[in-house]
Amino acid sequence: MPSAPAFQPHDHSHCVHDALASADRLCSESGARLTPLRRRVLELVWASHRPLGAYELLDRLIAEGHKPAPPTVYRALEFLLEQKLVHRIASRNAFIGCTHPGASHAGYFLLCDTCGNAEEIADGRALARAVATAAQGADFEISSQTLELTGRCRHCRKD
């Protein structure tokens, strides 16, 4: 699965290729139907490391000659969320590709306020333990978790 950090220079075509290959494999294994439109939405989500909103995706699809209605794009995104192929970045009402689909994990993200890129924290085990400990101390049962950390990436701090 894609491992190149969003905030580091890399050949992004590998990110897209690996994400689509993983999606094909996971959907085939689970019996989920990755339709051409769902696959294209996933590809567009992976086109950069900047989270994209549903209407941005809709505009890109229309520019390519597709004619989906907004509910169609939302249904495609719901499918991708259910299959754990993308994450929703709530603070931006946008979506980003999951860097390790198929693995049960919380979504921990670094979001650059300047360039708009986002990076999923690959190894969040220590963070997950800290969150679990805090929840246990408060006698709180977590049903889901996403953590969004905003700031400026190394590249943007140099400018």
Q: What is the 3-state secondary structure (H, E, C) of 74-134?
A: HHHHHHHHHCCCEEEEHHHCEEEECCCCCCCCCEEEEEECCCCCEEECCCCHHHHHHHHHH
The pLDDT score that the predictor gives to residue 79 is: 97
Contact between 112 and 152 (Cβ < 8 Å): yes
The structural domains of the chain, with segments of one domain joined by +, span: 12-158
pTM of the model: 0.84
The pLDDT score that the predictor gives to residue 39 is: 97
Distance of alpha carbon 2 from alpha carbon 42, whole angstroms: 14
Of 143, 123, 118, 121, the C-alpha closest to 132 is 143
Give the chain's residues under pLDDT 70. 1-12, 159
The pLDDT score that the predictor gives to residue 10 is: 56
- Phi-psi sector, 7: left (phi>0), alpha (psi -120 to 50), beta: alpha
Q: Is 26 helix (H, G, I), strand (E, B) or coil?
A: helix
Q: Please tell me the CATH code under which domain 12-158 is placed.
A: 1.10.10.10
The pLDDT score that the predictor gives to residue 8 is: 59
